[in-house]
C-alpha cells in the first residue's frame, strides 16, 4: 500500500505542473471505493489552484470545492501531456489544459471524491480524525508523548492507527522503531519521555529519508512522473526476517500484529 512518503512523492511529482490548469473534462470508469459525489461532467471548466496532502490523501484544491484522492492498496497516479487511451485498470481521468491526471488502481480500493470544502462532509468525515502531520511543525515531542501515554495498545499498532500521528505506515513504523531501539510490542503508555523523544526524532528521520529516496517500490508504485522509489534498498529491518541485524548481526525476527507483518531486532529492540 502506498504510505505517506509515496503519497508525498506523488504530490511533488505533479503539483507544480498541474497548478493553474483548467479542467477540460473528467472520466470516471469502474466504481472505486466511494462515489465521486458530483457528476464528472460538472468538473469541466474548474481550475486546479494547488495540490496539498493530508495523511495519505491528496487534496486537489479547485476554484469550486476540492478533489480528494486516495491511492488505496494498489493505486498510482500519472500525469502526462500525451496520455494514451485508458487501459483496463485506469479508473479516473482528469483531463486538463496542462495534461491528464490518471488513477490506475487494479484492486479499486482507491478513491476520487469531490467535497464542497474541507470543513464539510465528506472531507470532514475522512480527515477530521487524522492525527498530526509527522513532517510538519505541529508534530511536537511533548504532545506526541502525551498522546502515547493515553494509549495502552502496542506502540506499533498505535503508530499505524493514525490518530496520534498520521501516515506512519507499516514499513516506516518498523524502521522508526528500530532506529529508536523500541520493541514493537511495547505498550505505548509505558514509553518514557526520553524514549518517546527518540521515537519522535526517528519517525521524522525515516519519513524524510523515504521522501528523498522517492518512497518504496515493493510491487508497482511509481510517482506521477513514472519514477520508482528506492527506500526499500535501505531498509534496516523491513522485509529482512532471518537476515543479520546491521548493528549487532543478530537474526532479525518477523511477527504478526493486527494482520500486518512487523520486523525487528530482538537484541537492539529489547523493550
Active-site residue identified among 17, 53, 56, 102: 56
Instruction: Report pTM.
Output: 0.93
Cβ atoms 264, 253 nearer than 8 A: yes
Helical axes 141-149 vs 193-212, angle rounded to 10°: 120
What CATH number did the domain enclosing 163 receive? 1.10.8.50
Paired with 26 in beta bridges are 94
Q: What is the pLDDT of residues 38-60, one digit of tens each?
A: 999 999 999 999 999 999 999 99
* 260 is annotated as an active-site residue: yes
For the chain, the domain total comes to 2
Do 171 and 230 lie in one domain? The reply is yes
Active-site residue identified among 2, 5, 154, 184: 2
Do 108 and 174 lie in one domain? The reply is no
Do 91 and 161 lie in one domain? The reply is no
- The domain of 122 spans 4-127
What pLDDT is stored for residue 96 in this prediction?
98
Do 116 and 156 lie in one domain? The reply is no
Cβ atoms 52, 19 nearer than 8 A: no
What pLDDT is stored for residue 100 in this prediction?
98
Neighbours of 72 (CB within 10 A): 20
Do 79 and 176 lie in one domain? The reply is no
Do 38 and 116 lie in one domain? The reply is yes
* 3 is annotated as an active-site residue: yes
pLDDT tens, per residue, the chain with 271 residues: 788 999 999 999 999 999 999 999 999 999 999 999 999 999 999 999 999 999 999 999 999 999 999 999 889 999 999 999 999 999 999 999 999 999 999 999 999 999 999 999 999 999 999 999 999 999 999 999 999 999 999 999 999 999 999 999 999 999 999 999 999 999 999 999 999 999 999 999 999 999 998 888 766 677 777 877 778 888 999 999 999 999 999 999 999 998 889 999 999 999 8
Of the three residues 67, 94, 127, the one that is the final residue of a domain is 127
DSSP 155-185: HHHHHHH-SSBS---HHHHHHHHHHHT--TT
What pLDDT is stored for residue 129 in this prediction?
93
Do 80 and 173 lie in one domain? The reply is no
Do 14 and 117 lie in one domain? The reply is yes
What CATH number did the domain enclosing 45 receive? 3.20.190.10
What pLDDT is stored for residue 219 in this prediction?
64
* 56 is annotated as an active-site residue: yes
Active-site residue identified among 3, 6, 8, 175: 3
Of the three residues 70, 95, 127, the one that is the final residue of a domain is 127
What pLDDT is stored for residue 220 in this prediction?
66
Amino acid at each position: 500500500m502506498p504510505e505517506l512518503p509515496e503519497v508525498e512523492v506523488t504530490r511533488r511529482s505533479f503539483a507544480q505542473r498541474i497548478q493553474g490548469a483548467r479542467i477540460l473534462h473528467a472520466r470516471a470508469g469502474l466504481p472505486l471505493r466511494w462515489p465521486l459525489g458530483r457528476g464528472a461532467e460538472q468538473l469541466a471548466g474548474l481550475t486546479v489552484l494547488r495540490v496539498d496532502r493530508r495523511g495519505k490523501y491528496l487534496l486537489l484544491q479547485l476554484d469550486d470545492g476540492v478533489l480528494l484522492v486516495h491511492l488505496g492498496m494498489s493505486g498510482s497516479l500519472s500525469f502526462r501531456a500525451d496520455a494514451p487511451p485508458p487501459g483496463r485498470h485506469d479508473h479516473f481521468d482528469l483531463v486538463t489544459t496542462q495534461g491528464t491526471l490518471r488513477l490506475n488502481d487494479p484492486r479499486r480500493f482507491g478513491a476520487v471524491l469531490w467535497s464542497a470544502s474541507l470543513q464539510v462532509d465528506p472531507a470532514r468525515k475522512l480527515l477530521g480524525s487524522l492525527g498530526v502531520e509527522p513532517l510538519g511543525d505541529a508534530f511536537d515531542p511533548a504532545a506526541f508523548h502525551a498522546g502515547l501515554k493515553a494509549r495502552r495498545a502496542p506502540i506499533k499498532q498505535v503508530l499505524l492507527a493514525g490518530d496520534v500521528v498520521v501516515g506512519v505506515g507499516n514499513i516506516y513504523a518498523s524502521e522508526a522503531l528500530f532506529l529508536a531501539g523500541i520493541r514493537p510490542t511495547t505498550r505505548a503508555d509505558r514509553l518514557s519521555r526520553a524514549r518517546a523523544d527518540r521515537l519522535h526524532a526517528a519517525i521524522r528521520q525515516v519519513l524524510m529519508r523515504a521522501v528523498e529516496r522517492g518512497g518504496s517500490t515493493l510491487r508497482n508504485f511509481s510517482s506521477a512522473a513514472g519514477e520508482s522509489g528506492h527506500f526499500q534498498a535501505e531498509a534496516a529491518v523491513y522485509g529482512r526476517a532471518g537476515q543479520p541485524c546491521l548493528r549487532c548481526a543478530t537474526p532479525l525476527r518477523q511477527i504478526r500484529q493486527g494482520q500486518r507483518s512487523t520486523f525487528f531486532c530482538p537484541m537492539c529492540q529489547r523493550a
